[in-house]
Structure 1
Amino acid sequence: MRTTAIYFLKLAVVFSFTLLAACNSGRQNNEKYSTGNVSEISDDSLLTLVQYRTFQYFWEGAEPNSGLARERLHMDDIYPQDDKHIVTTGGSGFGLMAILVGVERGFITREEAFQRFQKIVDFLEKADRFHGAWPHWLNGETGKVKPFSQYDDGGDLVETAFLVQGLLAVKQYFVDGNEEEQQLAQKIDQLWREVEWDWYTKGGEDILYWHWSPKHEWKMDFGVTGYNECMVMYILAASSPTHPIDPEVYHKGWAMNGDISGEYTTFGHTLPLKQHVDPRKGGPLFWAHYSWLGLDPRGLSDQYANYWDNNVAHTLINRQHCINNPNNYAGYGEDAWGLTSSYSVPGAAAFVRGQSDEKPESGNSQQTSYAGHRPSFDLGVIAPTAALSSMPYAPEKVLPAIRHYYEDLGDKIWGGYGFYDAFSEEYEWYPKRYLAIDQGPIPVMIENHRTGLLWELFMQEEDVLNGLKKLEFSSPHIRK
């Protein structure tokens, strides 16, 4: 593991950098930036800078043997359970897309990306799979499953869906390339075909189950129903050319026989889908991101909702809650918002729930917990990914937040891999730590706003289009 000092020197991390210049590969590091006053950076250059830094989590910061995304990177060099080589499959799917952004933005060459993708695909072919599905965590050195919890030591269909979403985008990027690139696309296609989505109906039930383990079988017993981050899993399961689910699994399982529908208007914005944890204000904001890195919500609808409208409303309600700030947390406002699952202040949840009379101490930035922050469970913790990854839905609201985080909070929350995972001005808590699943959506969704790159790639996959038609979706990508 590089020390923090060497790492910061290598990436030339200087907070006063303001312009990210075009570059074709890592050979021209000294020509990537020009210096100046931070307030002079243009909007376009700021977006590119954020994309570049965050992309580096998945490029420079990748686990070296597998090329996949580490579950976490702590710049304080404190790692629980010695997990420097533990990679996350879902976060790696996001990282695959981030690397494609890196090629298109000139951070690396197409050939450099191709070499990395070859390493990743070769690793995934040999890594542990369970009826075609990868586990949540893998050991990046051995390819063996790392249990996520006591009984979660087998296939994780949700994380697999996030990984496959990224793999299919890579496939489409290279499918018409040279002979070697076409071979890579074919290998990805084979991995896609080997996922046994129908196995995860537990013998033919009209619902998909999140986990299966050869040791514990269906003990986790987590049937996935909407609405949450898992929609792309059902879409891919219906789209599989080899192990598809029937439409009834989507309609009876995910959509709960239609009970997923329900209009809830808050702050003038209407959610067309019933969101379990808080129907009126929505769940953590990552629900509007993870399934939508490749699955294009623009004009996408079925009998239950228009998904663009749903994601926009989810974003704006989350923001307005932070502006209203019913708990009077320090630092919240029009340009400081975004509640989602992330690292959290230890003890904050118990204090807010009234389970503890002791308010968390300020300034203890090295300690973290994890929480599903949302309007109905607001602990005073903001995660930059929540706003930044919502860029397509409300760009005029997101860009001022990026500027505030970059210009006003600065190196309290900004490092070599972009903005740190979460912070709290209320508790003066600024841990210098990253999580793959929160970093990945940032460069991808910013790029989807700028060019639609990942949406266009993923929606070129004929299997996906066939699956959407099978489920009677409407989309501009679906040819009549």
Structure 2
Amino acid sequence: MHPIRHWTRLRDAALAMGLLSCLIAAGNGSSDELPASARRVIAPGHIARPPYQFTPPDTRILQVVQQASFDYFWNESSPHTGMTRDRVGTTVCSVAGVGFQLASLPIGIERGWITYAQGRARAIKVLTSLVGNPGNRKHGIYYHYLDEVSGTPRSISSGPPVVSTVDTALLFSGAIVAASYFGNEVDLLVDIMLGRADWKKFVDKKPVLEYAQGMISLGWVPNDPDDPTGTGELLPYYWIDAADEQRLVTFMAMATGRQNTRIPPSTWYRLRRQIGSHDDGNTVTYFPYGGGLFTNLIEHVWFDHSRIDLDDPMAFGIPHRARVDWWANALWHARMHQDESASNADSYASFEVGWGLSACDGPDGYVVPGLFPDPLPMPGAQPGIDVPLETPSDDFGNGTIASYAAVSSIMFEPVAAMDALKRYIALLDQRGDRLVWKSPSGGGYGLVDSFNLDPGTGQPWSSGSHVAIDQGMILLSIENARSGLVWNLFHEHESIRGGMKDLRLQLLPCPSLPEDVNDDCAVDGLDILEVVAAFGACPGCDEDVNGDGQVDLLDLEAVRLLAPALGGPDLR
């Protein structure tokens, strides 16, 4: 039977029999009673996914903003090691910033700001300085900060230098992008870098906390700072929750290095997924120890989650973990930040023009403000192992906004991000000068780190500083929203393909939509038939399009609304 006629007859017959009310009644249990593994974090298919089409005026703005950020990486790099400085005016380089630097090179070439030869030469210089210096790492994992001249470990505090697993993961991510783009010598240097990583050395065999067993430590410190490759100890803090940094570190730890130095893929699914909901009613998973927007941004500049299907922790035997479309999860967090800024604009002047609380400079020093959804019950979940022991509360950071947060959300919210970007550029200080935008013609690099329109001093404040990782977030996020270039290069690399396969994650050739039940890049009658065949209680399954634990006429209607002709619109 033709799918359209099949659907029409089924719908008419069901409505005539009152089946809709019966099906809904069959699922009359409260959604709060659903175990976490039966929940799905999803977004309906009518919400557009990247890449996006921007108007000519907006495209010109994005081009200027991107070039300003690229110029930071090109101009603020050491003539000795080639590595980009952590921020303007310093002599140290963050290896995370260097990761963004390496990923910036293909963008600069494709946009016509440098030549291929220039980009390749810079990549080789940076990678040679990193790979050729045995004192800048421990077990193949790099120190957070390196001296721009010697490339040796540095500390920016009174404590010893620290080998950082997350900053190394960001370095590796950018190196992978460069390897895919340049190939040959760059690819060889990156292979050497990745192959040296012994991630198992960063798993504490006897952690104080039982639920940290098998998880990656945040880092390692030497007993003697003058002997950076000597003896030392792991930091007693671990990546245990499924926020962006945690997922990126854990993925790199199971996908890079040699086979015998990697951690099991199941560790990625063991990361805790506390679920919650905001005023819009959408289910999300969130990081209980930090509500800054960067916890839903920094992994997304590498992984194209708009095309990655729902993950499945239960396939690895890991209970009490929701199935998540991570692009949708980031979208709902971005909208929560928008909603909360609008609701609190009377209390914080900055919220009248912008949104996006995240880690940044503040008027009185470094701040990490953040927002959290309301936690949802997770029946049967074990405290510590499955859910955190603490309940977080919102921190508005005295109204300080991280400029990069809303702008980087262009990967999910192009209209709201563009609106925020234009507002930031237009902001003026008390002298009538640009507050947040520092023009490249005057030696600036575009958006500064952060601003606060009412810090209690009677005049607006901005950080006045450009930071490598922030510039990288802005540059890469905009490029992905426009072309998907960084995503495509990242996913080309064999280590990423292998890691995705080990996690049973599929990169689709089209946007990942819940209505495309069979993942064939078309919403059509075949999806209708799949839903019909699964009618009944089916928590967590693909046919439960709206994620309410029941496959019923509501799911059929969701598919029908996206494809009213059921002619199979091509999503590619």
Q: TM-score, normalised by structure 1?
A: 0.77
Conserved 8 A contact 2:99-2:173: yes
Find the counterpart in structure 2 of residue 319 from structure 1.
338
Cα deviation digits, residues 311-332 of structure 1 (max 9, x gap): 1111111111111116611132
Structure 2 residue aligned with 1:274, among 256, 268, 286? Answer: 286
- Choose between structure 1 and 2 for higher RCO, CA contacts under 8 A separated by at least 6 residues: 2
Separation in 2, partners of 1:432, 1:122: 32
Q: Give the superposition deviation at 1:153.
A: 2.3
The reply to whether residue 234 of structure 1 matches residue 289 of structure 2 is no
Conserved 8 A contact 1:269-1:317: no
Q: Give the superposition deviation at 1:108.
A: 0.9
Find the counterpart in structure 2 of residue 170 from structure 1.
178
Separation in 2, partners of 1:312, 1:265: 13
Conserved 8 A contact 2:217-2:234: no
The reply to whether residue 384 of structure 1 matches residue 403 of structure 2 is yes
Conserved 8 A contact 1:94-1:440: yes
Aligned with 1:293: secondary structure?
coil
Aligned with 1:291: secondary structure?
coil
Give, as a single letter, the amino acid of the residue that structure 1 aligns with 2:128.
Answer: D
Let me know the Cα RMSD of the aligned residues: 2.3
Q: TM-score, normalised by structure 2?
A: 0.65
How many corresponding residue pairs?
A: 393
The reply to whether residue 394 of structure 1 matches residue 413 of structure 2 is yes
The reply to whether residue 305 of structure 1 matches residue 324 of structure 2 is yes
The reply to whether residue 122 of structure 1 matches residue 128 of structure 2 is yes
Find the counterpart in structure 1 of residue 452 from structure 2.
424
Find the counterpart in structure 1 of residue 187 from structure 2.
185
Structure 2 residue aligned with 1:461, among 489, 493, 513? Answer: 493
Structure 1, unaligned stretches of length 5 or more?
Answer: 1-39, 75-83, 176-181, 347-368
Structure 1 residue aligned with 2:83, among 68, 74, 87? Answer: 68
Identity of aligned residues (%): 25
Q: Give the superposition deviation at 1:98.
A: 2.0
Structure 2, unaligned stretches of length 5 or more?
Answer: 1-54, 207-212, 224-230, 313-322, 372-393, 439-443, 511-518, 521-572
Separation in 2, partners of 1:148, 1:227: 28
1:93-112 to 2 correspondence within 5 Å? 93-112=99-118
Structure 1 residue aligned with 2:68, among 53, 72, 75? Answer: 53
Q: Give the superposition deviation at 1:227.
A: 2.9
Cα deviation digits, residues 137-168 of structure 1 (max 9, x gap): 00111111113556552421110000000000
Conserved 8 A contact 2:146-2:154: yes
Q: Give the superposition deviation at 1:192.
A: 1.0
Separation in 2, partners of 1:411, 1:93: 30
Cα deviation digits, residues 160-198 of structure 1 (max 9, x gap): 0000000000000012xxxxxx12211111111111112
Conserved 8 A contact 1:342-1:422: yes
Find the counterpart in structure 2 of residue 157 from structure 1.
165
Find the counterpart in structure 1 of residue 436 from structure 2.
413
Q: Give the superposition deviation at 1:228.
A: 2.7
Conserved 8 A contact 1:131-1:195: yes
Structure 1 residue aligned with 2:370, among 374, 387, 395? Answer: 374
Q: Give the superposition deviation at 1:267.
A: 2.9
Structure showing greater radius of gyration is 2
Aligned with 1:423: secondary structure?
strand
Aligned in 2, Cα 1:194/1:269: closer, same or farther, shift over 3 Å? Answer: farther
Separation in 2, partners of 1:470, 1:41: 42
Separation in 1, partners of 2:287, 2:492: 29
1:208-287 to 2 correspondence within 5 Å? 208-215=216-223, 217-218=232-233, 220-230=235-245, 231-240=247-256, 242=258, 243-252=261-270, 255-256=271-272, 260-262=273-275, 264-268=276-280, 270-277=282-289, 283-287=291-295
Task: Choose 162-171 or 413-422, whichever is displaced more.
Answer: 413-422
Find the counterpart in structure 1 of residue 11 from structure 2.
none
Find the counterpart in structure 2 of residue 364 from structure 1.
none
1:327-366 to 2 correspondence within 5 Å? 328-333=347-352, 335-346=353-364
